[in-house]
Chains A and B, each alone.
Chain A
């Protein structure tokens, strides 16, 4: 198992360290799956895939460096911080807990996430929040094209700009954008930003530690015109 080391930190809680230059991702994930509490520090991730996926406990995980595909996939309860950039599908299908990317994220960040919170402090690439089903995603920077494609539930907050076809075929998810928005996707429209929305967004921004004023955002959602197939809307698809 290489050079994995355990050492004690404050008040007796156990800090486990994995150096992925020598330890395997398999050994790391098995350790995370076997743990019910504690803090794991991951160093030299080297862009490897599937780091810290499938956790099912309120663990603290800090990853120091860049990660490859599907980091924190299907996360439940854990709080995972990536001090670096994340490859495609970070926090895909997240159920609960928090995943924070301190750098940029590649395609499909938070894809089909059911719950929990994904925070991206840099930019996110295309298809951010694709097929999302209840997760809250807050992006401090901008997002690429086709973000929130077929988004069903949850909130996608974009503090920068949004690429083309935002919210294409969106269902009941809610999108907030502070910057410029490219062409909107099919059935996605701008909606009224009520006081309630400003209040909700203020809370979400505060909870995620992203410094932005909620009243500067616009809100987008579904026109609900494609919910029932209508031949006269066939060209909208």
Chain B
């Protein structure tokens, strides 16, 4: 009997991907652990467009009239706030998840561009401290490698409450990535699966956190800014509580944010997208009269100058990139195809950071694979990418008549979908309708 094409109707509920996943679960008896961020479609910054200047507003001349990009972070309490030349920072990624060459590349690029980079779970490496003029040191629940010498030589501290890929979850580093150096930095045996804690060991709520931050300020003699990073969930409350706890800077990481290894169910089903998170965070700061006094950094799926400009227009002071910086370093680039194939994937589809066999040498501790990413080349790529993003932000800001990128405002934006209009609280294009606001 031949197949009747009319009977080959796929199920929308049980799509091929769903069927494959059930088969995989039946075979393996464990959830899928993977890297990268959410893969499903989500409302995002593509659903917003800028209203360029016209009769009522003057544009600025590209290449001639100045459009400044500098930003100062940590003006609330710190004696030495961070001065950045561009409003794009490099997000926290751990040594362990990333190899030393990747960390060094990011540090060199950030330094050349006048911006900051961030440590991750696993502590600060000498390479990244040397490579990064401005280095943010994360204080994470695991406290791996946390020590006061590094606290004192950091340019800011970031207390990580959560991250967008897995708000409410801890880190995971599978045994095959735990080399002797990684194990030593974390005070753990080699080769074991490391489950980093999801809660801090010495504080539980915002009242405790306030005292924890006081301690960090005392240890650093009130010199450097203290950031609080949250995964985007109950953003309004979290931002208000972070302000109350004494943050200089709040980092809100939307659900498109990446990770080196977490359960797929976490990545795809926990947290809210970056787009509504920005607006909720800005509204919370404005309600407290703290907008621009406590700076807001937005991250989670920022890919381009357009994404960054839209986040700034909605009220962020800066954006932070993680996955996009890795893509600039060569993640998912169509080279070493046979090594992608060995992982059962292909360029464009790879999310195999958790395996430690990164074909392009970024998320690996294997010396041969790591050698594929030379810090000089990596730094060049990230620098080029950051420069492009900055030019894009300036292009959009000048088109809206702004001489500083932080002068972009919500009034410069309209939404292309009803969902985006409701989430960003800007009108649906062609209407004055902001769903939920002025009906």
* CB of B29 closer than 8 Å to a CB of A: yes
Instruction: Point out which of B149, B187, B208 has the most chain A C-beta atoms below 10 A from its C-beta.
Output: B187
- B211 / chain A contacts, CB cutoff of 8 Å: 49-50, 68-70
- B28 / chain A contacts, CB cutoff of 8 Å: 231
Could you tell me the dominant secondary structure of chain A's interface residues? loop
* CB of A191 closer than 8 Å to a CB of B: no
- Chain B residue nearest to A152 in the complex (CB): B187
Q: B154 → chain A, closest Cβ, in Å?
A: 13
Measuring CB to CB, which residues of chain A are less than 8 angstroms from any residue of chain B?
Answer: 25-26, 29-30, 33, 49-50, 53-54, 56, 68-70, 73-74, 76, 88-89, 92-93, 95, 107-108, 111-112, 114, 127, 130-131, 133-134, 149-150, 152-153, 169, 171-172, 227-229, 231
Q: A1 → chain B, closest Cβ, in Å?
A: 15
Contact of A153 among B187, B195, B219, B222 (CB under 8 A): B187
Cβ contact within 8 Å between A95 and B147? yes
- B148 / chain A contacts, CB cutoff of 8 Å: 54, 56, 74, 76, 93, 95
Given known pairs A89-B203, A111-B202, the reply for A70 and B215 (CB within 8 Å) is yes
* CB of B188 closer than 8 Å to a CB of A: yes
Give Cα distance in the complex from A25 to B146, angstroms.
24
18 further A-B pairs in the complex, CB-CB below 8 A; given A50-B211, A112-B143: A50-B218, A53-B215, A53-B219, A54-B218, A54-B219, A70-B202, A70-B215, A76-B149, A92-B215, A93-B143, A108-B201, A130-B201, A131-B143, A171-B188, A227-B193, A228-B175, A229-B193, A231-B29
Given known pairs A95-B147, A112-B143, the reply for A229 and B189 (CB within 8 Å) is no
- B208 / chain A contacts, CB cutoff of 8 Å: 69, 88
Cβ contact within 8 Å between A227 and B143? no
- Chain A residue nearest to B217 in the complex (CB): A50
- Chain B residue nearest to A231 in the complex (CB): B29
* CB of B192 closer than 8 Å to a CB of A: yes
Give Cα distance in the complex from A93 to B202, angstroms.
10
- Chain B residue nearest to A131 in the complex (CB): B201
Instruction: Point out which of B146, B189, B215, B220 has the most chain A C-beta atoms below 10 A from its C-beta.
Output: B215
Sample (17) of A-B pairs whose CB atoms are under 8 Å apart: A25-B218, A29-B221, A49-B214, A53-B215, A56-B152, A74-B148, A88-B202, A88-B203, A88-B208, A93-B143, A108-B201, A112-B201, A131-B142, A131-B197, A131-B201, A150-B197, A227-B193
Contact of B219 among A74, A169, A228 (CB under 8 A): A74
- B151 / chain A contacts, CB cutoff of 8 Å: 54, 74
Give Cα distance in the complex from A56 to B148, angstroms.
8
- B12 / chain A contacts, CB cutoff of 8 Å: none
Q: B239 → chain A, closest Cβ, in Å?
A: 24
Contact of A89 among B197, B202, B220 (CB under 8 A): B202
| Per-residue contact bits, chain B 189-228, to A (CB 8 Å; 1 contact, 0 not) | 1001101010001110000100110110011111000000
Cβ contact within 8 Å between A127 and B147? no
Cβ contact within 8 Å between B143 and A133? yes
Cβ contact within 8 Å between B221 and A30? yes
* CB of B30 closer than 8 Å to a CB of A: yes
- A152 / chain B contacts, CB cutoff of 8 Å: 186-188
- A130 / chain B contacts, CB cutoff of 8 Å: 201-202
Q: B155 → chain A, closest Cβ, in Å?
A: 17
- Chain A residue nearest to B189 in the complex (CB): A172
Cβ contact within 8 Å between B219 and A112? no
Q: B185 → chain A, closest Cβ, in Å?
A: 11
Give Cα distance in the complex from A50 to B217, angstroms.
10
- B146 / chain A contacts, CB cutoff of 8 Å: 93, 112
Q: B69 → chain A, closest Cβ, in Å?
A: 35
Give Cα distance in the complex from A88 to B211, angstroms.
10
Give Cα distance in the complex from A223 to B142, angstroms.
21
- B195 / chain A contacts, CB cutoff of 8 Å: 169
- A111 / chain B contacts, CB cutoff of 8 Å: 143, 201-202
Given known pairs A54-B219, A93-B148, A152-B187, the reply for A227 and B192 (CB within 8 Å) is yes
Cβ contact within 8 Å between B215 and A69? yes
Contact of A54 among B193, B202, B220 (CB under 8 A): B220
- Chain B residue nearest to A25 in the complex (CB): B218
Cβ contact within 8 Å between B215 and A49? yes
Kindly identify, within residues 389 to 418 of chain B, every residue whose CB is under 8 Å from any CB belonging to chain A: none
| Per-residue contact bits, chain B 1-29, to A (CB 8 Å; 1 contact, 0 not) | 00000000000000000000000000011
- A149 / chain B contacts, CB cutoff of 8 Å: 201
Q: A50 → chain B, closest Cβ, in Å?
A: 5
- A74 / chain B contacts, CB cutoff of 8 Å: 147-148, 151, 219
